[in-house]
Amino acid sequence: MLDVDGAVDRAEGGWIATGDEWVYDRERYEAIAAARRAEQAVMRDYMAAKRCLMRALRESLDDPEAADCGRCSVCTGTLPAADPRPATVSAATDFLRSQTIGIEPRKRWPSGASRRGAIPTELRPEVGRALALGEDPAWGDAITTALAADEPVSQEILDGIVKVLSRWGWPQGRPTWVTWVPSRRRPRLLPDLAERVAQLGRMQLVEALQPHAGSAPWQSDAPSQGAAGIAALRRWTATTALPAGPVLLLDDECRSRWTTAVCAALLRESGAGPVYPLVLHKIL
Ligand SMILES: [Zn+2]
């Protein structure tokens, strides 16, 4: 129980005055402030490199055997090279790009939508994948550049996608066909990408989704997640009698996950097997 110097006691739903006078504990708070200032001074000394960096760290941790290390930039008098070796940068990039970025399926339709309640398991997509996440240091400008222009993606991006596919594992069987989410903003990027991925993976290419006649123009600034979901439910229709095998569903960006939820349901209702969503950029 938190006791503020005896003046109040915590009670259910709030506080109760004890009747004792409240006194500012100057000594205690000044001691805390002094301890914090001492810690800040240690950090400033470390940054200013006034003495061996390892000694500074060990002394801060009360290590009785703290001594000059002979290896740090203060001891040797030289800083590490400003430019890392290209091989190091390349290895770090490969490592960052090999991380799996999952996209969990949505489980319920938004309230107020034309569909209600839980999304039936057989209509949900599989756990999807994204190539890049947020301000992804693994991709940096490459993904921004790819999405800024409605053009075929670079070989670098395509190579990244191929690696994501090769690591996927396909829990519900390997996809036998590829389709994409039609986009008004980028009508060329995804059909082109779907065609290249289909060729590389020897999968059938099927134009399975179309914008719903009379659907509202794309709005990326829907006022809420629920509103985005309701809009997504009105946006597309699927071709009937689709191939029955598992399908890879390509999209450019993913934020609310409503696009993949709605498109997966439409594809499955039109005969498709398990749906694996793959997006270029998962926005945080
Ligand atoms: Zn040192």
Q: Is residue 188 one of the residues assigned to a domain? A: yes
CA of 49 to the centre of ligand 1 (A): 10
**227 occurs within a structural domain:** yes
**pLDDT at 221 (0 to 100):** 57
Per the CB < 8 A criterion, the answer to whether 234 and 216 are in contact is: yes
Show which of 76, 99, 128 is a domain's final residue.
Answer: 76
Neighbours of ion ligand 1 (CB under 5 A): 52, 54, 69, 72, 75
| Cα–ligand 1 centroid distance for 54 (angstroms) | 5
Q: How far, in Å, from the CA of 86 to the mean position of ligand 1?
A: 27
Q: What is the pTM of this model?
A: 0.72
Residues 38 and 166 in one domain: no
Based on the structure, what is the number of domains in the chain? Answer: 2
Residue 82 maps to a domain: no
Give me ligand 1 centre to Cα 129, in Å: 45
Let me know: does 275 contact 128? Beta carbons within 8 Å.
Answer: no
Could you read off the pLDDT of 36-53 as tens digits, one per residue? 999 999 899 999 988 899
- For ligand 1, the distance from its centroid to the CA atom of residue 61, given in whole angstroms, is 16
Residue 142 backbone phi and psi in degrees, to 5? -60, -45
Distance between Cα 67 and ligand 1 center (Å) = 8
**Residue 93 alpha carbon to ligand 1 centre in Å:** 30
Query: Same domain, yes or no, for 95 and 171?
Result: yes
pLDDT < 50 positions in the chain: 1-3
Domain boundary among 54, 76, 98: 76
**Where would I find the H helices in the chain?**
26-48, 53-60, 73-76, 86-97, 141-148, 155-168, 189-200, 225-233, 258-269
Same domain assignment for residues 72 and 113 = no
Q: In angstroms, what is the span from residue 70 Cα to ligand 1's centroid?
A: 5
**Residues 73-112 pLDDT 10s:** 999 998 877 788 899 999 999 999 999 999 999 999 998 8
Q: Yes or no: say if 230 and 112 are a contact pair by the CB < 8 Å rule.
A: yes
Which of 51, 76, 101 delimits the end of a domain?
A: 76
Establish if 13 belongs to a structural domain: yes
Q: Rounded to the nearest 5 degrees, what angle is found at the Cα of 231, between the Cα atoms of 190 and 195?
A: 10
Same domain, residue pair 43 and 180: no
Cα 27 to middle of ligand 1, angstroms: 37
Distance 219 CA to ligand 1 centre (A): 56
- What is the structure's pLDDT at 2? 47
Residues 238 and 123 reside in one and the same domain: yes
User: Does residue 54 fall inside a structural domain?
Assistant: yes
Do 197 and 233 reside in the same domain of the chain?
yes
Whether 41 is covered by a domain: the verdict is: yes
- 103 and 38 in a single domain? The answer is no
Domain span at residue 165 reads 87-282
In a domain? residue 81 = no
In this structure, what is the dihedral angle of CA atoms 212, 229, 263, 171, given to the nearest 10 degrees?
180
Residues 121 and 175 grouped into a single domain: yes
